[in-house]
């Protein structure tokens, strides 16, 4: 339970925990049936529907499936991680093994490390070391990635490359669990891609780049500025008062400050928890409120929402440069300053 909640909020959550809806988790079970049923029904009818329409629906359902995987790794609808993993292991969204996503995302929930590129696996900032080592083209792409359109177009590519590089590095270090997760994922992905081609007329390339990539692009809308670099931990996480369609697609994860505050609260209870304590959350997160995703689109469609280089890393780099410049300036005559 969060350390930040007051007695009224604690009482409300305890009441909801005792309700049949929360104990049975029937909304999540219904969601699982709907997502899997809708996905495979669409695939099976792709020829009669027409591939453009079918692929578009599959991309949206795969994005919803990513949101469902997020619920599964947080302990819904069961308290048994293995059971939840079986419900989320199918590669409907193509790119990432469920087990790898689970491990990475739970590390992200260490709020004291949010946005730090060296410690937060979901940070969209880079460290000073990374920035110095990047060439002009990569720097330009990193800046573009922090625009709304750039996040949708380039964000998935950066995430995919990062995941693959991380997988090779961990496997090279002998991490058998990660190797097993990727092996299982690739086998299931191969089986699913083969079935889609033979039974549904959807080629592997169309599945990967017509369904999987757009699903990540849609998901990138939610995560565009979920977190900002702020000195106070509670002020790093956003509340996005999005419309009902976006809230459903992202399973209320737009109320992100509530989710980080109370990660065990299921998706269908987040909205009520937020609205009951709206003013308190607004104060707690320093007014970090967005009135729907269209606000980001209008303000940051082509304008970066934040620098690519993390502000704390930038300050540290500036401080180091000043120290080194001071050392060089005060070096005795005849002594050479150390090169940077």
In the chain, where the domains are located: 7-300
Higher pLDDT, 316 or 283: 283
Residue 20's pLDDT is 82
- In this model, does residue 322 exceed pLDDT 70? no
Structure tokens at 4: 């930040």
Q: Which residues contact 22 (CB under 8 A, 6 or more apart)?
A: 16, 266, 269
Q: Pairing between strand 239-240 and 289-290?
A: parallel
pLDDT over 70 percentage in the chain:
88
Residue 143's pLDDT is 95
For the CA atoms of 45, 47, 49, 54, what is the dihedral angle to 10 degrees? 80
Q: Which residues contact 88 (CB under 8 A, 6 or more apart)?
A: 68, 69, 72, 73, 98
Lowest mean pLDDT among 8-17, 21-30, 75-84: 8-17
Residue 326's pLDDT is 56
Structure tokens at 261: 């505050």
With residue 297 as reference, give the H or E element that holds it. helix 293-300
Residue 21's pLDDT is 80
- In this model, does residue 339 exceed pLDDT 50? no
Pick the most confident of 27-31, 223-227, 334-338: 27-31
Report which of 279, 275, 236, 280 is spatially closest to residue 257, judged by C-alpha positions. Answer: 236
DSSP string for 235-295: GSB-EE---HHHHHHTTTTTSHHHHHH-TTS-HHHHHHHHHHTHHHHHHHTTT-EES-HHH
Give the Cα-Cα-Cα angle 167, 171, 172 (nearest 5 degrees). 115
Lowest mean pLDDT among 39-43, 186-190, 328-332: 328-332
Q: 271 with 290: CB under 8 angstroms?
A: no
Give residue-wise pLDDT tens across range 132-144: 888 999 999 999 9
Q: What is the pTM of this model?
A: 0.87
Residue 255's pLDDT is 96
- Cα R_g (the chain), whole angstroms: 22
Q: What is the mean pLDDT of the chain?
A: 88
- In this model, does residue 321 exceed pLDDT 60? no
DSSP string for 142-201: HHHHTSHHHHHHTHHHHHHHHHHHHHHHHHHTT-HHHHHHHHHHHHHHHHHHHHIIIII-
Give the C-alpha distances (Å, rounded to integers) separating 271 from 39, 124, 130, 226, 283.
26, 26, 38, 16, 17
Higher pLDDT, 339 or 287: 287
Q: Which residues contact 167 (CB under 8 A, 6 or more apart)?
A: 100, 178, 182
Residue 323's pLDDT is 46
Give residue-wise pLDDT tens across range 161-180: 999 999 999 999 999 999 99
Q: Please report where in the chains the tokens 């990047």 appear, as a residue.
A: 134
Provide the b/e sequence for 37-75 (b: ≥16 CB within 10 Å). ebbbebbeebeeeebeebbbbbbbbbbbbbbbbbbbbbe
Question: Where would I find the H helices in 74-127?
Answer: 81-88, 98-108
Give residue-wise pLDDT tens across range 186-211: 999 999 999 999 999 999 999 999 99
Q: Rounded mean pLDDT of 56-72?
A: 98
Provide the b/e sequence for 194-229 (b: ≥16 CB within 10 Å). eebeeebebeeebbeebbbbbbbbbbbbbbbbbbbb
pLDDT band at 13 (very low <50, low <70, confident <90, very high): confident
């Amino acid at each position: 339970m969060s350390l930040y909640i007051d007695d009224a909020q604690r009482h409300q959550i305890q009441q909801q925990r005792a309700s049949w809806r929360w104990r049975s988790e029937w909304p999540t079970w219904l969601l699982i049936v709907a997502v899997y049923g809708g996905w495979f029904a669409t695939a099976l009818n792709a020829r009669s529907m027409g591939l453009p329409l079918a692929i578009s629906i599959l991309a949206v359902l795969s994005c919803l499936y990513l949101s469902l995987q997020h619920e599964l790794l947080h302990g819904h609808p069961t308290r048994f991680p293995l059971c939840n993993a079986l419900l989320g292991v199918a590669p409907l969204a193509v790119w990432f093994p469920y087990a790898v996503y689970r491990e990475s995302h739970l590390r992200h929930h260490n709020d004291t490390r949010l946005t730090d590129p060296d410690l937060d696996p979901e940070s969209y900032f880079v460290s000073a070391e990374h920035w110095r080592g990047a060439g002009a083209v990569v720097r330009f792409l990193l800046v573009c990635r922090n625009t709304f359109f750039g996040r949708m177009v380039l964000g998935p590519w950066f995430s995919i490359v990062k995941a693959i590089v991380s997988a090779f590095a961990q496997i090279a270090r002998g991490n058998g669990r990660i190797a097993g997760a990727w092996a299982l994922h690739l086998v299931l992905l191969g089986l699913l891609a083969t079935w889609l081609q033979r039974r549904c007329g959807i080629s592997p390339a169309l599945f990967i780049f017509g369904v999987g990539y757009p699903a990540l692009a849609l998901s990138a809308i939610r995560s565009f500025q979920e977190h900002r670099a702020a000195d106070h931990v509670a002020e790093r996480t956003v509340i996005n008062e999005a419309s009902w369609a976006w809230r459903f697609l992202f399973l209320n994860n737009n109320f992100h400050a509530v989710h980080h505050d109370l990660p065990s609260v299921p998706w269908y209870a987040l909205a009520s928890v937020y609205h009951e304590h709206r003013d308190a959350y607004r104060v707690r997160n320093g007014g970090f409120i967005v009135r729907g995703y269209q606000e980001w689109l209008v303000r940051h469609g082509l304008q970066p929402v934040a620098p690519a280089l993390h502000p704390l890393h930038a300050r540290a780099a500036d401080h180091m440069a000043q120290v080194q410049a001071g050392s060089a300036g005060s070096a005795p005559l005849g002594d050479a300053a150390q090169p940077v």
